[in-house]
Amino acid sequence: MCGRFTYKFSWQEFHDRLKVFVNGLDYIGEGVENHPPRFNIAPTQPIIVISQVNGRHKASLMRWGLVPNWVKDPSKFALIINARMETILEKPSFRGSVRHHRCLIPASGYYEWCAGTDGKKQPFYITGQDGKPIVFAGVFSNWMGPDGEEVDTTAIITMPSSPDLKKIHNRMPAIIPEEMMADWLNVARVNERDAMAMLRAAPSGTYRIHPVSTRVNSNRNEGEDLAQPITLHEPVTDHATRKKSGQQELF
């Protein structure tokens, strides 16, 4: 599951790294270069998305929460922020997007919640050990309303957690290895089944995990301090134990 994440890099920092793997960008949309660092990005907010359209690599802002192009009234359609990799090829909401509209979503880390022994939800921050940007696999859709209005929307693909993250949650965002980014975007050359085969759990030791303040629970709070580690006074119950004991899933 991925319901909240961070983006602490400047656009230039991310662009300089990305261009090595996807041969640069032909188009940079309004608002991308000046996108500020964010430490509590929530669904429905605009996020930076990298896509390939008609052979051109694009960076643009899209709304987090996918609306398939066949939806008539988005206000009556459930908010879709994640797409499970196991079912994405069969679900009507994603079939067209995973075939024609795959994308990359840059981040510096993400939050996940785990139940403590007292039943309260404790947030944890998960980021790469090397401190470099991480890039989620995503899909997007261009929705056009009856009056001609257009809205680009996106969802993050999720997969079973890597071994060292299962104690927090059994699912995680699918993170694209750098050497596969260009192929993931290339919908003309790489079909959807081959693309999905690129999504594999990273080995143990890839990520850093630490508890953070429950201030992150509210998307009204923002700031770098939200991702800083805190000391826990109560232990948490790992995900496998919660399942065996019948505790309810957080997501």
**Using CA atoms, how far apart are residues 167 and 78, in angstroms rounded to an integer?**
29
Contacts of 100 (CB under 8 A, 6+ apart): 187
Beta bridge partners of residue 161, listed in sequence order: none
Contacts of 198 (CB under 8 A, 6+ apart): 137, 176, 177, 180, 183, 184
Question: What pLDDT score was predicted for residue 72?
Answer: 86
Q: Which residues form the catalytic set?
A: 2, 112
Closest by alpha carbon to 105, among 147, 51, 146? 51
* Global confidence as pTM: 0.90
Domains of the chain: 5-245 (3.90.1680.10)
pLDDT by residue, tens only, the chain of 251 residues: 689 999 999 888 888 878 777 777 788 888 999 999 999 999 999 999 999 988 889 999 999 999 998 888 888 888 999 999 999 999 999 999 999 999 999 999 999 999 877 778 999 999 999 888 899 999 999 988 777 788 999 999 999 998 889 889 999 999 988 889 999 999 999 999 999 999 988 888 889 999 999 999 999 999 999 999 999 876 666 655 445 444 333 32
Beta bridge partners of residue 113, listed in sequence order: 123
Question: What pLDDT score was predicted for residue 56?
Answer: 86
Helices (H), the chain: 11-22, 95-100, 181-185, 192-196, 239-245
**Using CA atoms, how far apart are residues 154 and 101, in angstroms rounded to an integer?**
10
Question: What pLDDT score was predicted for residue 193?
Answer: 96
